[in-house]
Amino acid sequence: MAYAFDARVVALDRDEDVLIVGFADDPTDYTRYLTIQYLQHYSEGDREDGSAEPYLEIEDQSRSCYGGVVEIRLSRHRILLKTDQEANRHLQIDGGIEISFGEATFDFGSLAAALETISQIFSIPLVHEYPRSQSSMLDSE
């Protein structure tokens, strides 16, 4: 079963060195969250030890990993991350990550652009799912 929750908060933080995409179930008293981050520049040491990949963290640092995302699916109301078995083991999940964010207020264009950047840099397929209506999205599952 996928790690899943409804995010009330979607946040992006970008500076010249790092991009962080965050999802949380509550703005102040969150218990469930996902952060995805990547650096603009990785060192040779990062490449050698495998940390020159997007960093994922759910709920705390004991449930984190570098890399392991094999596909990103994005719609106006949710994100799905398909993860490999090693990432699942580190994140202590089974079956990827699904986050709904239909109630959150945020700039969807900025989220899509950030995920496109991650997709291009790390060669992770990004599938855009923009259904005509919510019912058509449910029908396709």
Instruction: Give the C-alpha separation, 89 to 78, whole Å.
Output: 23
Judge whether residue 137 has pLDDT over 50.
no
Q: pLDDT per residue over 77-107, tens digit each? A: 999 999 999 999 999 998 899 999 988 899 9
DSSP run (H or E) holding 9 = strand 9-14
Write down the mean pLDDT value for the chain: 87
CA dihedral 126, 132, 133, 139 (to 10 degrees): -70
E-strand spans in 15-93? 18-24, 33-39, 55-58, 60-66, 69-75, 78-83
Name the residue ranges covered by the structural domains of the chain: 3-139
Select from 33, 30, 28 the least CA-distant residue to 5.
33
pLDDT at 57: 96
User: Model pTM greater than 0.75?
Assistant: yes
Q: pLDDT per residue over 40-90, tens digit each? A: 777 777 677 667 789 999 999 999 999 999 999 999 999 999 999 999 999
Residue 22 binned pLDDT confidence (cut-offs 50, 70, 90)? very high
Q: What CATH number is given for 3-139 in this structure?
A: 2.30.29
pLDDT at 132: 39
Residues for the chain: how many in total? 141
Instruction: Give the C-alpha separation, 130 to 68, whole Å.
Output: 25
